[in-house]
Amino acid sequence: MRISPESIPMPQPTTAQPLTAHRAGPLRGTIRVPGDKSISHRALILGALSVGETRISGLLEGEDVLNTAAAMRAFGAEVVREETGDWAVHGVGVGGFSEPDDVIDCGNSGTGVRLIMGAMATTPITATFTGDASLRARPMGRVSAPLALFGAEAHGRSGGRLPLTLTGAAQPMPAQYAVPVPSAQVKSALLLAALNAPGVSEITEAVATRDHTERMLAGFGAEVAVEEDGPARIIRVRGEVELRPVTLTVPGDPSSAAFPICAALMVEGSEVTVTGVGLNPTRAGLYVTLREMGADLAFLNQREEGGEPVADIRARFSALKGVEVPPERAASMIDEFPILAALAASAEGRTVMRGVKELRVKESDRIAAMASGLRACGVEVAEEEDMLAVDGRGADGVPGGGRVATHLDHRIAMSFLCLGLAARRPVTVDDAAPIATSFPNFPALMEGLGAAFRRENG
């Protein structure tokens, strides 16, 4: 039984929603977090590039992914949410995108806009992309410049920023490109562009970033070969392929699971289990770091789902110590540094995070946002272009009491709300609305575990 596209939940414009976290009793219980954001975007896009029906269960229904669903519809695919909560995508095939008749608004999502730009770059159509104030401030030249190697042409604002108009290549060429920044979004955009270019394109990354695109391309029937060269990866994709639709289950997002897990580690007496969490090694660096800090973690029922390793993760409150996070681990935990910084504030001793300058071009400048928020909560912090260090308060506890600016960044909001559950005084975030981009039921799930959140004005 299908429901019409009009009844699909769509992101609504929101006003700022301040939210305050109070010191809580123990957090206890078993939860499942929403589907992986990275995999959800890719499932919709690859489904739209396939011929036939792709079926997706466990899709993240957060604003970022809903914007990608709307974009795939604008490019001509049929995307429907069924009453069961499963999604079906009727793709138009590689090279089959039609020209959207309006601007594509990707909201807050860097992944959405960059991957979609790649997916259309080798089809001779023109589309204009925009997003919210956070996305419009982020660098897009890192994608549009290498897409030019395939023959695409982009015109953006200064620095290649959105709004940006992209015209796909009428006669695409295969490309060879070494991605100069550790970015799975850039890598993935180029791999998607390569699908409609003749011959083999070759994309190299100096360190391994999340490899969901490579895994999923293989699942959809593309010819992909990954060669390891020390820490580097050379990925070769043959273009002009026909992708086969698949049926897939999206695992729980490890980047979302990180919040309840780290909150449980911080709040005395807690024990929380998060079931069905994706544990792809290119995403699992946080868990290595947490173990080094002395976290009591158990990985239960380890299994494989939809081509990705999955486990149930149990976390118990732990007395943690500060650690040095080596730069070579940064890519595998890039989205987890905000919650790690919050956790480090309650550990004993200093935690130093190096090789993290990509954090400066996320939904916000996350080094600056964490540093100023932590200072507002009475925590000493040192920051350099490429480094963040947090002096943990250990047994003294985090003073708290700060009002933190979240800069339209969901992970900054969730990190400080978790910190507030353990701090001596409440912590307020100025706007919790962006949490809906990746983890819409975060407040409800956390309250179900025992968290105390208070909304302003009621």
Amino acid at 338: P
Tokens 């695109």 correspond to 213
The two tokens of residue 33 are 């977090």
Total interface residues for ligand S3P by CB under 6 A: 11
270 is a contact residue toward ligand S3P (CB under 6 A)? no
How many other C-beta atoms can be found within 10 angstroms of the C-beta atom of residue 4?
8
Residue among 170, 166, 5, 160 nearest 82 (CA): 5
Closest by CA position to 445, among listed 145, 27, 71, 164: 27
Of these, 358, 373, 428, 437, which contacts ligand S3P (CB under 6 A)?
358
User: Up-side HSE of residue 453: CA atoms within 13 Å toward CB?
Assistant: 22
* By the rule CB under 6 A, 111 interacts with ligand S3P: yes
**One residue of 54, 68, 122, 183 binding ligand S3P per CB under 6 A:** 183
Residue 392, SS3 per DSSP: strand
Nearest distance from residue 241's CB to ligand S3P, in Å? 21
Judged by CB under 6 A, the chain residues 184 through 223 that form the site for ligand S3P are 184-185, 188, 210
Should residue 359 be labelled a site residue for ligand S3P when binding is judged by CB under 6 A? Answer: no
- Min CB(2)–ligand S3P separation in Å: 28
Are 121 and 147 contacting, i.e. CB atoms less than 8 angstroms apart?
A: yes
Stretch of residues binding ligand S3P (CB under 6 A), selected from 64-72, 150-158, 179-187, 427-435: 179-187
Q: Which stretch binds ligand S3P (CB under 6 A): 14-22, 169-177, 183-191, 225-233?
A: 183-191
Please report how close the Cβ of residue 220 comes to ligand S3P at its closest, in angstroms. Answer: 17
3-state DSSP call for residue 53? strand
Cβ atoms within 10 Å, residue 225? 13
Is position 334 an interface residue for ligand S3P (rule: CB under 6 A)? yes
H helix and E strand count, the chain: 13, 24
- Give catalytic status of residue 335 as yes or no: yes
Question: In the bound complex, what is the minimum distance in angstroms from residue 283's beta carbon to ligand S3P?
Answer: 9
Smallest gap from residue 334 Cβ to ligand S3P (A):
5
By the 8 A CB rule, do 285 and 262 touch? Answer: no
Give the end-to-end CA distance of the chain in Å, rounded to a whole number. 39
Q: Which of 211, 335, 409, 431 is catalytic?
A: 335
CB nearer ligand S3P, residue 334 or residue 423: 334
- Active-site positions? 335
Q: Which residues bind ligand S3P (CB under 6 A)?
A: 38, 110-111, 183-185, 188, 210, 334-335, 358
